[in-house]
């Protein structure tokens, strides 16, 4: 799943393998090998890629979000709840279709993964925004 997720993130940013390799200090072949699954990155490389795309390593590796634990932050719990509800809605919907065809299980999974990315990105952007009335002059 790592290779598929890397390719998806790269394409969302409209980067070629050459562009991504240059930005991360890798060779194009290294990026291609990661995307094809013929090579696995070490932890430092995973962290570098996660930081570049502003996602978690768990998201890159397609690890499920754990349910609420004492160690998780309020933000993580909120995202987990949103994703759980969204996933349940998707899984129990018989009327989902794209271009007139019912969504496959793979398409539903991809939709859920995309929503996780959207939730996390929106949350990150919203945290950066400070209304004028709270800004220091």
pLDDT tens, residue by residue, 6-60 = 999 999 889 999 999 999 999 999 999 999 989 888 888 888 998 898 888 888 8
Would you say residue 24 lies in a domain? Answer: yes
Q: What letter does residue 99 receive in the DSSP assignment?
A: T
Q: State how far the Cα of 26 lies from the Cα of 100, in Å rounded to an integer.
A: 41
Would you say residue 136 lies in a domain? Answer: no
Work out how many domains the chain is built from and give that number.
2
- Give whole-number Cα distances, 130 to 81, 110, 120, in Å: 25, 32, 18
CATH of the domain at 10: 1.10.260.40
Q: In terms of domains, do 44 and 78 share one?
A: no
Q: In terms of domains, do 88 and 52 share one?
A: no
Tell me which residue range forms the domain holding 100. Answer: 74-129
- Which of the listed ranges 23-27, 61-65, 109-113, 125-129 does the model predict with the highest average pLDDT? 23-27
Would you say residue 23 lies in a domain? Answer: yes
The answer to whether residue 77 scores a pLDDT higher than 80 is no
Q: How many CA atoms lie within 13 A of 95 on its CB side?
A: 1
- Decide: pTM greater than 0.85: no
């Amino acid at each position: 799943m790592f290779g598929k997720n890397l390719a998806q993130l790269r394409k969302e940013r409209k980067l070629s393998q050459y562009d991504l390799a240059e930005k991360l200090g890798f060779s194009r072949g290294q990026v291609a090998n990661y995307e094809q699954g013929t090579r696995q990155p070490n932890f430092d490389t995973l962290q570098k890629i996660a930081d570049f795309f502003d996602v978690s390593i768990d998201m890159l590796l397609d690890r499920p979000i754990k349910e609420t634990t004492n160690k998780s932050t309020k933000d993580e719990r909120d995202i987990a709840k949103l994703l759980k509800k969204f996933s349940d809605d998707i899984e129990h919907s018989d009327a989902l279709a794209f271009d007139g065809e019912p969504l496959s299980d793979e398409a539903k999974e991809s939709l859920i993964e995309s929503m996780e990315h959207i939730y996390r990105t929106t949350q990150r952007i919203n945290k950066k925004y400070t209304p004028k009335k709270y800004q220091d002059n």
